């Protein structure tokens, strides 16, 4: 079974619909996201992609790094995955809701970068609604906890 791989390329080097091009060439593409980098998300052999479009700047097979580091690097899918793992393990209701709101924020940013503004807005509204329902006095503690634990 193939695992998920992210290949990161410099922005602006591809002009066509890269996802369509890779799929025509029988690559199992989950998505192509454009942020700070062009992020090619596949469940396939990365050598197939490299043979078609060249060496990436870097490749991710296993998510590493901190939420903060990845977030500032506009790698929102990886942020989403890191937080989802923490969300599954969280037992405190407030912590779980806080994490879910940040997960929704990341999902919103992913959709925004793909040009899906309506979906992005909907996800952002859900994220803000969840945060607004949390006790204000807990927000700094939840934020600090997130920073120290990711």
- What is the rounded average pLDDT of the residues 42-56? 96
Residue range 55-96, pLDDT digits in tens: 999 999 999 888 889 999 999 999 999 999 889 998 888 888
Q: Residue 144: what pLDDT?
A: 59
CB 7 within 8 A of CB 46: yes
- What is the rounded average pLDDT of the residues 95-116? 91
Q: Residue 109: what pLDDT?
A: 94
Q: Residue 22: what pLDDT?
A: 96
Q: What is the dihedral of CA 95, 96, 99, 100, to 10 degrees?
A: -150
Residue range 12-43, pLDDT digits in tens: 888 779 999 999 999 999 999 998 999 999 99
More confident residue, 146 or 81: 81
37-43 and 4-10 beta bridge pairing: antiparallel
CB 8 within 8 A of CB 58: yes
DSSP 3-state of 142: helix
Q: Residue 145: what pLDDT?
A: 63
Q: Residue 139: what pLDDT?
A: 59
pLDDT at 150 over 90: no
CATH 3.90.180.10 fits 67-149, yes or no: no
Rg (alpha carbons) of the chain, rounded to whole number: 17
Distances (CA, A) of 92 to 96, 143, 145: 6, 14, 12
Output the pTM of the full model.
0.82
pLDDT at 137 over 90: no
For the chain, give every domain's residue range: 4-60, 67-149
Place 45 in a pLDDT band, splitting at 50, 70 and 90. very high
């Amino acid at each position: 079974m193939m695992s998920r791989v992210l290949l990161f390329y410099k922005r602006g080097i591809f002009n066509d619909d890269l996802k369509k091009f890779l799929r025509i060439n029988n690559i199992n593409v989950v998505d192509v996201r454009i942020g700070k980098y062009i992020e090619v998300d596949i469940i396939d052999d990365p050598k197939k992609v490299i043979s078609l479009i060249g060496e990436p700047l870097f490749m991710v097979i296993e998510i590493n790094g901190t939420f903060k580091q990845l977030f500032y690097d506009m790698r929102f899918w990886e942020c989403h995955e890191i937080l989802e793992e923490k969300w599954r393990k969280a037992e405190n209701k407030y912590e779980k809701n806080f994490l879910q709101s940040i997960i929704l924020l990341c999902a919103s940013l992913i959709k925004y970068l793909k040009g899906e503004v309506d979906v992005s807005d909907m996800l952002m509204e859900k994220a803000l609604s969840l945060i607004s329902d949390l006790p204000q006095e807990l927000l700094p503690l939840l934020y600090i906890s997130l920073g120290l634990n990711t």
